[in-house]
Amino acid sequence: METNPSFLARHEFLIRRLHSLSGLIPVGAYMCIHLLTNASTLDSSATFQRAVYQIHSLGHLLPVVEWVFIFIPILFHAIIGVVIIRGGLPNYGSYKYVNNLRYTLQRATGMIAFVFIMWHVFHMHGWFHFKDWREGIAEPLGGAQFAPYNAASSLGAAMMMWGVLYPILYAIGVLSCVFHLANGIWTMGITWGVWVSPVAQKRADRICAAFGIVLAVVGLSGIGGAVRIGDHGQRYEEAKAVEEKMWDAKIASGEIDPEEGLHKRSDTNDGHASAE
């Protein structure tokens, strides 16, 4: 115990409110967009590739946007979240109320989500972009598997690297994130004083539950879409062909510099064999 109140203690109110807010904006909002984008693989590989090109049209700004609006807020939310979890003492064993179970699950899913996101970002993105890290460490360890300009095919191959293991891990991770967001929006409404009366809280609860179910379906569809491509030789090849055509078009129009864009493509023309 410190005698002088720490920084965290002196600004506890502000930090907790920022923690609450950051869960929705930008982290939660980003997650919704992310899951929706991923679900577009179900439409076609081209739709997904188009969405990814759009995101990557930010060019050199993309890493800045990623860090400022995604990674740093997630790390902040996670670190303060761990501090909060350490300050509580779940007691569902003695007080078996639904809301108490949700309190406990909110903490459990938060921890799962954090581990999952760290692993997921490593698996797909490799954490850092610079070449030595990517090629020397991330890729040999099975990370940095996603190639933005071979979006659907590399996603599918990455998802099926270990048979059904990764789809299962992704499903657990995505469902944890979705629960954490939907339940978090509900508690956030109480924390900020948006829904006050028990009737209003009940109503908000139903809306949050419906939102959670829809988002869970969207999230699982994304995983399903990736599995569909990665698990099927022909669909994988089709995806590659479409990506090739789109790449050629981008080069032809001068929208992408082939030199610069190369590191966003799968290593060789067929670096990852589809799992057959």
Give the footprint of another protein on this chain (CB under 8 A).
1, 5, 9-10, 12-14, 16-17, 84, 87-91, 94-95, 97, 99-100, 102-104, 106, 187, 190-198, 201
Nearer to another protein, 197 or 268 (CB): 197
Examine residue 26 and say whether the peptide bond preceding it is cis (omega within 30 degrees of 0).
Answer: yes
Structure tokens at 8: 């965290």
Q: Which residues contact 99 (CB under 8 A, 6 or more apart)?
A: none
Nearer to another protein, 98 or 252 (CB): 98
Neighbours of 114 (CB within 10 A): 20
What would you measure as the largest C-alpha separation in the chain, in angstroms? Answer: 67
Residues 174, 119 contacting (CB under 8 angstroms)? no
Residue 210 Cβ vs another protein, minimum distance, rounded to whole Å: 19
Residue 82 Cβ vs another protein, minimum distance, rounded to whole Å: 14
Residue 109 Cβ vs another protein, minimum distance, rounded to whole Å: 14
Nearer to another protein, 104 or 221 (CB): 104
Nearer to another protein, 3 or 234 (CB): 3
Nearer to another protein, 5 or 140 (CB): 5
Nearer to another protein, 54 or 99 (CB): 99
Residue 91 Cβ vs another protein, minimum distance, rounded to whole Å: 5
Residue 180 Cβ vs another protein, minimum distance, rounded to whole Å: 13
Nearer to another protein, 93 or 254 (CB): 93
CA distance 214 to 231: 25
Structure tokens at 224: 């399903």
Residue 99 Cβ vs another protein, minimum distance, rounded to whole Å: 4
Give the helix ranges, DSSP H, for 151-232: 151-159, 165-191, 198-230
Residue 117 Cβ vs another protein, minimum distance, rounded to whole Å: 22
Q: Which residues contact 108 (CB under 8 A, 6 or more apart)?
A: 176
Tokens 């139903």 belong to: 206
CA angle 118–183–105, rounded 5-degree value: 65
Taking each helix axis from N to C end, the angle separating 233-253 and 151-159, rounded to the nearest 10 degrees, works out to 150
